Amino acid sequence: MEYRNKLVLAPMGTLPLRLLAAEYGADITYGEEIIDHKMVKCERRVNENIGCTDFVEKGTETVVFRTCLQERNQVVFQVGTSDAVRALNAAQLVCKDVAAIDVNMGCPRSFSISGGMGAALLRKPELIADILTTLRRNLDIPVTCKIRLLKCPQDTVELARRIEKTGVSAVAVHGRKVADRPRDPAKWNEIADIVAALSIPVIANGDVFEYGDFERIKVATGATSVMAARGALWNASIFSPVGKLDWEDVKRQYVRKSILWDNDVKSTKHTLKEMIMHYSCLELPEGKDVIKSETLADIARLYGEEKYYQFVNENRTMLNGGHREGKFMVAPEI
């Protein structure tokens, strides 16, 4: 995995969003964070019906992580952890099916903080070193981490230097501090300090909402690669050099990919609601209908994709033969 001069999807997408972002131009696509406690309860299963690889929680039969050959060389598995051995056990389950492993060290949510994960790790440099060194020594694929800014800029630089010494391939930096809210401007100048101090690639993240922002943040920080989060969630075509497409078109393609890959309906609804909240309003009929939807069939009906839904489910053998070979199989326009 090469981390220089790349456009990167932040760790917020399940398989349909990752594949959609890649089609529009994303070079690297991070999966949404999976907690190590959850992952170590899973077993790897090849899903012949869908044409993908699932990591399924034993007992509940819940699909915790789904991937496919098409994204094998660009998908990054992000793990939430507070323990080096448990992180390694989780990573070893999935390392043959992904391009790299990333450790989440920036999530400010109370669930992560209370479990000693995410941004809580920023206060524990020894544990950070233990986790990253353990992964690096025992895995044959790249290891990275994603951090936030500390209260003191120099402390962030020193932490980044310590992270670099563990041998990671890159570090992603969200240009906000733990206490900052999304509406607070990202501090690109503090990312620049980190870039100047390191020799490994730094992936700059924060306030990337248009294709032009990729170049603007690169110029401002000196970072060679840039990660888009909310901007990509709202409209995955942000990665397209020709400019963003109309969100209605992107939404339709996302619905189709969710149908094609039999995405979890809760995950599909979450992404659709994020798009609607940004461009419209959940209180309007579309938003209310998405909230009421209980199955992918409901979503298909809502967006006029009943025939597509029927075609996919009647022709999975043909479609997924291509999936298993690592080809992009696209159902015809219906």
The residues carrying an active-site annotation are 107
Sheet holding 52-57, edge to edge: 42-47, 52-57, 63-67
Q: With CA atoms as reference, report the closest residue to 228 among 12, 4, 50.
A: 12
> Residue 78 half-sphere exposure, CB side, CA atoms within 13 Å?
23
CA–chain centroid gap for 305, Å, is 26
> Residue 71 half-sphere exposure, CB side, CA atoms within 13 Å?
30
Token pair 């310590």 is found at 162
Which amino acid is it at 119? A
Left if phi > 0, otherwise alpha if psi is -120 to 50, otherwise beta: which for 167? left
Task: Say if CB 43 and CB 58 are below 8 A apart.
Answer: yes
Question: How far is the C-alpha of 14 from the C-alpha of 29, rounded, in Å?
Answer: 10
